[in-house]
């Protein structure tokens, strides 16, 4: 799965207790923090671009921050039984400026 995350926005990351989730970033990770101490195993690869996250116990919804040299990413981490993320490529997002307003109505005013 690919995540394109806009600056100053948060993405949901769904984790399972039974299997790790792997996040692949475009540049080396300088800092990562998730939940409280002892909630997660956070392991980085030798090239520092890959983060493997595994909950160590039952967790409530919590936050995770990953900082690279040029970017920072915020995640809302939520435990789920089905439909969890297993392998995610993370990219900085960009606003799509190719759309052009063709029509303005009272239902959809210019904002």
Give, for 29, the enclosing helix (H) or strand (E): strand 29-34
Class of the CATH-defined domain 2-92:
mainly beta
Q: How would residue 96 be classed by pLDDT, with cut points 50, 70 and 90? A: confident
Annotated domain spans of the chain: 2-92
More confident residue, 52 or 8: 52
- Predicted TM-score (pTM) of the model is 0.79
105 Cβ contact partners less than 8 Å away, ≥ 6 residues apart: none
pLDDT at 84 exceeding the cut of 60: yes
pLDDT at 90 exceeding the cut of 60: yes
């Amino acid at each position: 799965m690919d995540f394109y995350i806009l600056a100053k926005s948060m993405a949901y990351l769904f984790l399972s207790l039974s299997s790790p989730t792997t996040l692949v970033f475009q540049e080396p990770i300088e800092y990562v923090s998730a939940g409280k101490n002892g909630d997660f195993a956070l392991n980085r690869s030798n090239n520092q671009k890959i983060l493997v996250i595994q909950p160590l116990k039952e967790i409530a919804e919590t936050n995770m921050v990953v900082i690279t040299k040029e970017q920072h990413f915020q995640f809302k981490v939520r435990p789920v039984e089905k439909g969890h993320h297993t392998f995610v490529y993370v990219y900085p997002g960009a606003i799509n400026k190719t759309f052009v307003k063709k029509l303005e109505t009272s239902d959809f005013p210019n904002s």
